[in-house]
Amino acid sequence: MSEQRKPAEEYVVVRHRPGDRLKRSLILLVFVVVAAAGGYAAGMAQGGFRFTSAEKSSARLEDKTATLEASYREARQQLVNLERGQLMDEQALKQARKTIVDLETRISALQSDLTFYKNIMAPSETSKGLQVDRFSLASDRQAGVYSFKLVLTQVGNNKSYISGVVAVNVIGMRDDQKEVIALRDLSQEIQDLGVKFRFRYFQDVEGKLALPDDFEPLEVQVVAQAEGRKSSQAERTFNWGDLTEN
């Protein structure tokens, strides 16, 4: 009886494209980053003071920061390996570097927010009570117009609400004379000389301001006055150049 012949083995030739694997990884990585950022933004944008407790917000931020840092390390290692082997095309290389920069920026923002919450819940002995946490400016498309954001915080004792008023003045020069202009005279969103506040953890005051054509701003002065049982005052002065240098 003759021995049955085995069929010949078949081989399929597949073109090796080293850049394809990285591109697929980058697309997945970007999707993860966007999903994490979207979830974070949605959570922060929900009513009231945008969170139920600073402790829960801090825990969520720690989880998101850890996830992004892990994704960043993985993408960074892929980039290093492929650059060493010179196995990726120029377009994939540019996309990898852009992803790395986006991850670094996002991680930095999350770490900043995490520090913000931790400072509220576990402050130093010298920084308790009502605080002027920050004042920021972003240049608008129109010359002399800026978006502003003021953040007030109650550091340490957050069991009860704190209320009062906060005044913002822009100090500068006009016709070689020093001039102080109240924020209500520069912004349509601000109607009163003192903006009322009431919060447990923090509160934002946002809007746009438009400077007079012949006015040269030098500083922004913020004075917050708490009323009632928690009567106190917090004051900070911000250099205009520092606020607009970015």
178 and 92: one domain? no
Angle at 224 between CA 133 and CA 148, to 5 degrees: 55
> Would residue 4 count as lying in a domain?
no
Given this model, what pLDDT does residue 196 score? Answer: 92
Domain enclosing residue 55, as ranges:
18-121
CA pair distance 161, 120, nearest whole angstrom = 14
Q: What is d(CA 226, CA 129) in angstroms, rounded to the nearest whole number?
A: 10
Q: What pLDDT sits at residue 169?
A: 94
Domain count, the chain: 2
The answer on 34 and 76 residing in a single domain is: yes
pTM over 0.75: no
CA distance 83 to 48: 48
Regarding whether 146 and 83 lie in a shared domain, the answer is no
CB 239 within 8 A of CB 219: yes
Residues 231 and 166 in one domain: yes
At 86 the pLDDT is: 58
Q: What CATH code is carried by the domain that includes residue 230?
A: 2.60.40.2420
Q: Are 72 and 103 a contacting pair, CB within 8 Å? A: yes
pLDDT in tens, the chain (246 residues): 444 555 555 544 444 455 555 555 555 555 555 555 555 444 444 433 333 455 566 667 777 777 777 777 777 777 777 666 555 567 777 777 788 788 777 777 776 666 666 666 655 554 678 889 889 999 888 889 999 999 998 877 777 888 999 999 999 999 989 999 999 999 988 888 889 999 888 888 999 999 998 999 999 999 999 988 878 889 999 999 999 886
Q: Does 138 lie in the same domain as 226?
A: yes
Indicate whether 157 belongs to any domain: yes
What is the pLDDT at residue 20?
55
Last residue of a domain, one of 121, 138, 164: 121
Give the separation between CA 117 and CA 123, rounded to whole angstroms.
10
- Residue 3 located in a structural domain: no
Residues 36 and 65 in one domain: yes
